[in-house]
Amino acid sequence: MLAYVLRRLLIGVVLAVLVTFITYLLLSGSFRDMVSTLLGPDVTAADITRRTHALGYDRPVVVQYVDWLGHAVRGDLGTSLFTSSAVAPTVLSHIVVTMSIVFPALLIAVILSVTLGVWAASRSGAPDRIAQSISLVGHVIPALLTAIVLVVVFAVELKIFPATGFVQFIDSPVGWLRSVTLPVVVLVIAGMASITAQVRGSMIEELSKDYVRTLRTAGLPARSIVLKHALRNAGSPALTVISLEFISLFSHSVIIENVFALPGFGSFAFSSAQNIDVPVIMGVTLVSVVLVTVINLIADVANGYLNPKARLH
Amino acid sequence: MSTTLIPEPDDAQISVVPRRSVWRHLRRDPQAVATAIILIVLFLAGLLSPLISPHDPNAASLDAINLPTGTPGYLLGGDESGRDILSRLLYSFQTATVSALIGASVALAIGVIAGLVGGYFGTAVRSSTEWLFNLIMTFPGLITLIVLLPLTHGDYRWTMLVLGVLMSPGTYRIVRNLVLGVKKELYIDAAKVSGLGDVRILARHVLFAVRGPIIVNTAFLMGSAIAAQSGLAFLGVGAKDVPSFGLMIYSGFNNIYASPLQFVWPCISLGIFTGCLVLFGNSLRDAFSGPRIKRQKPAQGLRLVTSAIPTSVVTATVERDDEPMLAIEDLGISFPGTTGAREVVKGVSLTVDQGEVVGLVGESGSGKTQTAFAVLGVLAPEARVTRGSVRLEGRELVGLSESALRSLRGRVVSYIPQEPMSNLDPSFTVGSQLTERVRHTLRVSRRAARQTVLDLLARVEIPDPPRVFRSYPHQISGGMAQRVLIAGAVACRPRLLIADEPTTALDVTVQAEILDLLRDLQKEFGMAILLVTHNFGVVADICDRIAVMRGGEIVETGVTREVFRAPRHAYTRGLLDAILDEGAPAGGDASTVGAGR
Amino acid sequence: MFRSPARRRFRVAAVAAALAVALPLAACSAGNPSSGSGSSTSSTATDTLNLAIPPSALTLDPALMQPTVSRYIWGSIYESLAYWDPKTGAVTPWAAKKWTYSPDGKTLTIELRNGLTFSDGSAVHASDVAATINRSVNTAGYIQSIDTAVDSAEATNDKTVVVHFKNYDPKWVSLLGREAGVIAKASDLNSPDIATNPIGSGPYTLDTKATVAGTKYVLQKRKDYWDAKAFPFKTINITITNDPTAQLNAFKAGQVNATAVTAQQAAAAKAVSGATVTQTTASTMYWLLFLDKYGKSANPEFKDVRVRQAVNYALDREGIAKKLLQGYATPTDQVFFPSREVFDSKLEKVYAYNPAKAKKLLAAAGYPDGFTIEIPSSQATTQFEPTLSQELGAVGIKLKWVPIPESQTASIILTGQYQLYLKQSGIVSDPYTAALYFTPQGGTVNPEKYTDPTITDLYDKITTTVDTDKSLAIYKELNKYAVDQALAAPVTMTSGLWATSQGVTFVDRAGLPADIRQFGVAGK
Amino acid sequence: MSALLAVDQLRVRFGTGKRATEVLHGVSFEIAPSETLGLVGESGSGKTTIGRTVLGLVKAHSGAVSFDGRDITSAGRRERRALAKDIQVVFQDPYSSLNPAMAIGDILSEPLIMQGVSRRDARARVRTLLDQVGLPSDATDRRPQEFSGGQRQRVAIARALAPEPRLIVCDEPVSALDLTTQARVLDLFAEIQQRTGVAYLFISHDLAVVRHISDRACVLYRGDIVETGQVDDVISRPTHAYTRRLILAAPVADPDRQAERRRERRRLLDLERSTEAVA
């Protein structure tokens, strides 16, 4: 198990190096653009050359990359060229914000979807129609629309929740809760659609399997058959969807973050890419790779727990 | 932003083989029809936008700025630059359609080809494709697209090309997994034996076989591409001279307090477009996974669906000593079919006495298994008992509630299935499954249940009970799994055991052992057994009496020896004649030679 | 198919969603009186300014700071030698008591005010000022690019700084009120923290605990500040908000009490009870630059003055200002600041909207069928693209907008790849900077360094005339020449709109760069 | 009589390195032209692997497979294509062995066209083949799922017959079929052999089936051939204990004889156990 995790992490490290290197290569064409943005509106080509040199962006790309990698290995991701703040802690602080909305949203979405999906699969009729309608609404109504309606109703008009901004949990737990509620609701609605459909589908399939009938012939109560046996077996495909949903929520949070003016990872990554803030882009890329690797690993380990056949030795 | 832009649908439920009824299935699915019609209308609107748009989508008139909805000439009003919203909306459908086509075809081209190659060839090829797609998957998509802007010049078509590459890992994984499955299909081996080249096999056999899920995936890819294109345009990544939902939503969003409808139109259009694609994809998936009969409320108990309840049902509910263990009278079971209900069991009558072993024999499709399921009350949800009665020690089962049936199952009547592997829950250890059963029916402590289970495992002659106790079903052999199921079935000393082809999936030597075990247990507990089988050898080995079924009817019953010696019905005779060991070899010492079924 | 439940559900969903959006929005744009009742929900105590600004480069390194909205932050932490009075636009001494030029304009002597202290309690010395200037001059960055005339600075005593110039730079004094005039502590200049947590002598200190770089900046007023009454707010919370709609939402929800709004948002902001929407004096100019007046590229059309004039005639400046920008803009065809001396109201009538004349000029220049030209597209140009395409297209000049990344807007001009460019620039009220646009020193405005004998002659006169009154006439002459020759095609000057809640005032009548002094407490 | 197919000391391993497991430990046998060799064994005995090695679907680790005197152990793709004319296969599962997406006509003509037969000739040949296996000629346009298991197996046989091979590897061809169908399909196999003189390598777990169709039989146990001989000898006078156990384990459809066999089997088992205990 440990060996497996280590091997996967090693693959993650190799991927991280490859991805960051390719990103650096792609970025290398834009170093002068970055410097010109940095220097403000009325620059001359000579200014740009001077500053590019001062920052070391005129060295061979490979040298620069190895330099970056050397620092990154020691945990030093450099400082942002635009805010002059250290990249590593800044990236982390933005991840905290996005996690604060994505994680609760996913948790709630999973709980609701699984409940709904199981309910729909084991009792057709009204529950099934409710589950399918929720999927439909989630698919058809863009999150942006939900977001703006919620803001206008609950923040601007009723003033129950703040319209924008993020409060650190340690500063004020209540403030934190109020600041994440609306974005979480938006993401829950968006995330529930596919998870509910998936859980419903795999539960229906699972409940039609032979072992379910055999469990019934053993006189076991329906609750145990559905919730203990079928749900666990349906969990494996659902887990894949959940992990993909997590990555997707995380990476698409930029729009929601913009609407709620949350200083999250998505909008941070987006603005750094727009400015071509090279140290930040590299940090963001690295963190994304790590995140994807870790989430996939967690999903696979969890899958191994749920599904003994998938367990690796 | 990383991995794919939109989560890939799970492919686990997609069956590999597209069936002919896909088209018919789609036509009958209201969701498929509705979404398909909407999609066709939207595609057409996009296609014909140059013809039907009242204005050039970029024509800006200073006099049309923020015109309200319903202004003549500007049906949906003008936007903040004085462009006609309706025209821009129509052109946006075109942009969305083109985006969907480019994004999906690039993802498909790359994902399908790599998936075919990666899945079909050996592990060396596969591990390199794996690496490649892991790499693509790990790329933070949004950043990549922005960084590549100098190359794509913001043209949404180039952007969609890149996006297609970024989306390809999802398709790759689906295709690869399918190909890994298809590769094991014997017709691929047959093609190889015929000398077909790899390319031909891939193109003709493998690709053809996996096309269903690919088509389904296409719908999702298109939805993802449109959503991604809109998202990028909304964020301002890319050119602004091509109208798109994202751009319209962006300007509408910034103008939301001045004229909210400018925001609502593109939002709803986009939602309907992508939503329909996803929903249509879901319908396609349902269609490809075969004609799933409309789900009905799962059968709760064993309910009779005809109004005419036979008198016997009403009267014979009192338990009497002289009642047989099991008495089936005129039992009818039907399934809903495409042309109305189809009766698969047509008035079967059968009795099993206390401690008696009865063989229910017939070929596939004769209705023997459904008869057995009816006794257990575990018929498929859509199955209906149309007539007759099933009495267990005099107690009428037809009409009994699920909870009443549940109290009988495992205690009075028990079941051994045909396929040992698929009848054990793959996710729990053998021990925990058996313990749960024992605890539930015997109401004992965990520790006591554990001991009971270990004793049972020893009783069914499992060599190392503690090891099997700890094992998961896939870690033990088929014969062992069947012993486990038998242990579970006899755990509570049921008075009737329903064994549905209990040895068919096993090797002959194992079969002989299992039959010995069943015989010993039957004697020890004095159980009655209803043995469903197609194997006359098995019947000869263990059954006291035999009932032969054909086409949902019992054609002959009798004491085993008599039926074998002098079959009365022609069908029985035919079956016995087909047995290959007739005409024993010369010098036949029957006990040492001759083998047969 | 109308019986299909799926279809019905769509319709219901669509209608419901449309209503859900339309109703509350309609209600508030109609001025829902109940929305004002939220004044108690957030601290509207007027000792706190809650400001929302869009993102921009946010370094606090005194050599790298830029004249963007980030000035609300660094301009509060650092003191400058001078400031621009928000009411008059005049460059007014702040940390400096006075300054005097030598007759040749190559030496500037600045005398510091008494009682200046850094936030760590130490006194401000002239050597701190000199060190800051010297560092900026020697550090590649924005300030270096505007400090080109400066040779060095030295402190002759505790209170006196002498700045030596390579040549006379008429605009430099006005820069004292901008980033070039800030004072940092000499010993702090080499600190690694200077970009995030500097020591300044300004009225506010950065509350580093509450501050999240790039996201939220909290400024606390210094109790010991010498000019405390000029800065009424005890605390200033500045949040960086990407999205204009989110900014407005925050304002409507009472989370911020001052924010810039767009023309489309003005009505909605005004609807908030007690809120004021103030229109600034024109602050941003949009103008079409002709980047190939020498005609060296594959598209030499703009070499011909008639083509440049045709572009000017094709623009419906009145329409753009009134309709596209909903009146929050001033049409103009010159680049000098309207309320100041060089601006010539007679010139405004030169290029009255006349597409027919534009066509004629194009035909005369040899382009009867017009031509197609590529033009960079960025976030800043979005709003104008459809209208410009329409109006120039109408006379035969077809625009092909090529999207370029935000980060490349400056550098793309320097490449010489484009011949036409819609420039967005903050209006500078000093005439020298505006005049520079038409000289080889024009930077990104004149990357080809275009000049002709008239321009060269006028520029020489400007740089040698230290007497302001005399130079004014030369500026006017240059302005007239630029308009006649259609060296550029100014489109419009837009005003900013600021929404402030009850109790907070906003002043801007001088086309200022961002300055915290613009905000005040009502009644004070 | 020279052997048509000769398998000599065949060893097959699955997996590589430490995890490699050997599933055939040096198996040798021969098949003469027009002969049927039955290969009997239980699951895991390696009988299917032998067939797949002969067909070139599995690589041999060592040993040799030769056809008509030619070593084909490691024949390349081109050589295999040529061999396809001589060696054909009928698999166990008639559901998986026919591509469900293809029409019967295409399934049957594909190998012919691969052999260079023109489309027109192939079509004609398909009709003859269908006739030979007792299927209507209008079956060409239909798809496998429209046929029953027995009919599908006839299609699979027709496909194997198409290039007029000299050897057909039959891997459990009747074990998925109902009793009555099984008998009819076996008759078809026999009839085809009589008519065409094809040799069969007939793999089955069912002694009765092997006995019914084979001339000679090999009994396979855990990767080794434990017994070879004329089929009647093997079944009437088994020499190896495993063969005996296998024969006795199969129940006969006669209650009295079956009771006797059961007793005999138990006696044998007890005997084995006691000898094991002694040893």
- pLDDT-derived band at C36 (thresholds 50, 70, 90) equals very low
Q: Does B139 touch chain A (CB under 8 A)?
A: yes
- pLDDT-derived band at B2 (thresholds 50, 70, 90) equals very low
Residue C1's CB is within 10 A of a number of other CB atoms, namely 11
Q: Do A19 and B474 touch (CB under 8 A)?
A: no
Strands (E) located in B458-552: 496-500, 528-533, 545-550
B355 and B233 co-located in one domain: no
Coil/strand/helix, residue C235:
strand
For the cut 60, the answer to whether the pLDDT of residue C206 exceeds it is: yes
B278 and B321 co-located in one domain: no
CA atoms of C111 and C161, how far apart (whole Å): 6
Q: Which residue among A159, A164, A271 sits closest to C55, beta carbon to beta carbon?
A: A271
For the cut 70, the answer to whether the pLDDT of residue B292 exceeds it is: no
Instruction: Please list the residues that pair with D57 across neighbouring strands.
Output: none
CA atoms of B331 and B367, how far apart (whole Å): 11
Question: What range defines the domain where residue B250 resides?
Answer: 21-55+98-287
Residue B1 lies in a domain: no
CA atoms of B390 and B349, how far apart (whole Å): 9
**3-state SS string for C416-442:** CCCCEEEEEEECCCCHHHHHHCCCCCC
Residue B465 lies in a domain: no
Q: Which residue among C13, C58, C405 sits closest to A82, beta carbon to beta carbon?
A: C58
For the cut 90, the answer to whether the pLDDT of residue A20 exceeds it is: yes
Q: Where are the domains positioned within chain C?
A: 5-275+501-521, 284-495
Residue D117's CB is within 10 A of a number of other CB atoms, namely 17
B282 and B204 co-located in one domain: yes
CA atoms of B274 and B253, how far apart (whole Å): 19
Pairing type for strands D167-171 and D199-204 reads: parallel
Q: Which tokens sit at C494?
A: 């837009």
CA atoms of B360 and B539, how far apart (whole Å): 9
What CATH number is associated with residue B161? 1.10.3720.10
pLDDT score at D279: 57
Q: Among C34-38, C227-231, C464-468, D186-190, which stretch is predicted with the lowest mean pLDDT? A: C34-38
Q: Does B574 touch chain D (CB under 8 A)?
A: yes
Q: Which residue among B148, B234, B408 sits closest to A26, beta carbon to beta carbon?
A: B148
Determine contact, residues C291/C413, Cβ cutoff 8 Å: yes
Q: For residue C36, what are the CA distances in angstroms to B12, B68, C39, C273?
A: 55, 27, 6, 4
Residue C455's CB is within 10 A of a number of other CB atoms, namely 20
CA atoms of D235 and B588, how far apart (whole Å): 11
pLDDT tens, residue by residue, B344-387: 888 899 999 998 999 999 887 788 888 999 888 888 877 888 88
CA D279 to chain centre: 38
For the cut 70, the answer to whether the pLDDT of residue C37 exceeds it is: no
Residues 6+ apart with CB under 8 A from B552: B343, B344, B345, B346, B348, B366, B367
Residue B248 lies in a domain: yes
> DSSP per residue over D185-224, as a string?
HHHHHHHHHHHH--EEEEEES-HHHHHHH-SEEEEEETTE
C227, with CB counted inside 10 A (0-12, 13-18, 19+), is: middle
pLDDT tens, residue by residue, A229-244: 998 888 888 888 888 8
Instruction: Please list the residues that pair with B348 across neighbouring strands.
Output: B331
Q: Do C250 and A165 touch (CB under 8 A)?
A: yes
For the cut 90, the answer to whether the pLDDT of residue B210 exceeds it is: no
Q: Does C28 touch chain B (CB under 8 A)?
A: yes
Q: How many domains does chain B have?
A: 2
Determine contact, residues B453/B431, Cβ cutoff 8 Å: yes
pLDDT score at B321: 56
At C34, the amino acid letter reads S
Q: Which tokens sit at B522?
A: 């039957």
- pLDDT-derived band at C511 (thresholds 50, 70, 90) equals low
DSSP state of A79: B
Q: In the complex, which subunits touch B with 3 or more CB pairs below 8 angstroms?
A: A, C, D
pLDDT score at B381: 77
Residue C228's CB is within 10 A of a number of other CB atoms, namely 12
Closest CA to A140 of B224, B275, B281: B275
Q: Which residue among C145, C247, C409 sits closest to A44, beta carbon to beta carbon?
A: C145
Q: Do B581 and D252 touch (CB under 8 A)?
A: yes
Q: For residue B104, what are the CA distances in angstroms to B132, B139, C328?
A: 19, 19, 45
Tally of CA atoms within 13 A in the half-sphere of D168 that contains its CB: 26
- pLDDT-derived band at C19 (thresholds 50, 70, 90) equals very low
pLDDT tens, residue by residue, B39-51: 999 999 888 988 8
Domain C5-275+501-521 architecture: 3-Layer(aba) Sandwich (3.40)
Mean pLDDT of chain B, nearest integer? 82
- pLDDT-derived band at C132 (thresholds 50, 70, 90) equals very high
Q: For residue B52, what are the CA distances in angstroms to B36, B43, B86, B90, B245?
A: 21, 13, 10, 8, 18
Q: Which residues of C touch A38 (CB under 8 A)?
A: 57, 64, 141
Residue B436 lies in a domain: no
Tally of CA atoms within 13 A in the half-sphere of A111 that contains its CB: 5
Closest CA to D185 of D95, D106, D253, D90: D90
Q: Does C296 touch chain B (CB under 8 A)?
A: no
For the cut 70, the answer to whether the pLDDT of residue B291 exceeds it is: no
- The rounded percent of chain A whose pLDDT value lies above 70 is 97
Task: Say if C and D touch: at least 3 Cβ pairs within 8 Å.
Answer: no
pLDDT score at C160: 94
For the cut 80, the answer to whether the pLDDT of residue A294 exceeds it is: yes
Q: Which residue among C17, C265, C405 sits closest to B257, beta carbon to beta carbon?
A: C265
B109 and B178 co-located in one domain: yes
Fold observed for domain C284-495? Dipeptide-binding Protein; domain 3 (3.10.105)
Residue B13's CB is within 10 A of a number of other CB atoms, namely 17
Q: Which residue among B2, B426, B472 sits closest to A291, beta carbon to beta carbon?
A: B2
Radius of gyration of chain D (CA): 20
The domains of chain A, with CATH numbers, are 1-76+276-313 (no CATH), 96-266 (1.10.3720.10)
- Distance from B565 to chain D by nearest Cα, in Å? 8
- pLDDT-derived band at B302 (thresholds 50, 70, 90) equals low
Residue B482 lies in a domain: no
A69, with CB counted inside 10 A (0-12, 13-18, 19+), is: middle
So what's the ipTM on this one? 0.82
Q: Which tokens sit at A42?
A: 């009325």
- Distance from C378 to chain A by nearest Cα, in Å? 11
pLDDT score at C524: 57
Q: Do B596 and D252 touch (CB under 8 A)?
A: yes
For the cut 60, the answer to whether the pLDDT of residue B542 exceeds it is: yes
Q: Do A164 and C21 touch (CB under 8 A)?
A: no
For the cut 60, the answer to whether the pLDDT of residue B310 exceeds it is: no
C369-374 mean pLDDT: 92
Interface of B with D in 362-401 (CB under 8 A): 363-364
pLDDT tens, residue by residue, C315-342: 999 999 988 888 888 898 888 877 777 8
Residues 6+ apart with CB under 8 A from D123: D105, D109, D140
Q: Which residue among C14, C25, C319 sits closest to B62, beta carbon to beta carbon?
A: C319
Q: Which of A134, A135, A211, A311 is the best residue to mutate to test the B interface, defined by the most B CB atoms within 10 Å of its own CB?
A: A211
Minimal-distance CA residue of chain C relative to B273: C10
pLDDT score at D96: 82
Radius of gyration of chain C (CA): 25
pLDDT score at B587: 33
B280 and B377 co-located in one domain: no
pLDDT tens, residue by residue, A132-149: 888 888 888 888 888 889
Which residues does chain D have with pLDDT short of 50?
1
- The rounded percent of chain B whose pLDDT value lies above 70 is 88
Mean pLDDT of chain A, nearest integer? 86
pLDDT score at C4: 37
CA atoms of D88 and D100, how far apart (whole Å): 20
B257 and B385 co-located in one domain: no
- What are phi and psi for residue C189, nearest 5 degrees? -65, -25
Strands (E) located in A36-116: none
What CATH number is associated with residue B504? 3.40.50.300
Q: Which residues of A touch C32 (CB under 8 A)?
A: 157
Q: Do A152 and C24 touch (CB under 8 A)?
A: yes
pLDDT score at B20: 52
**Of B160 and C21, which is predicted with more confidence?**
B160
Determine contact, residues D155/D107, Cβ cutoff 8 Å: yes
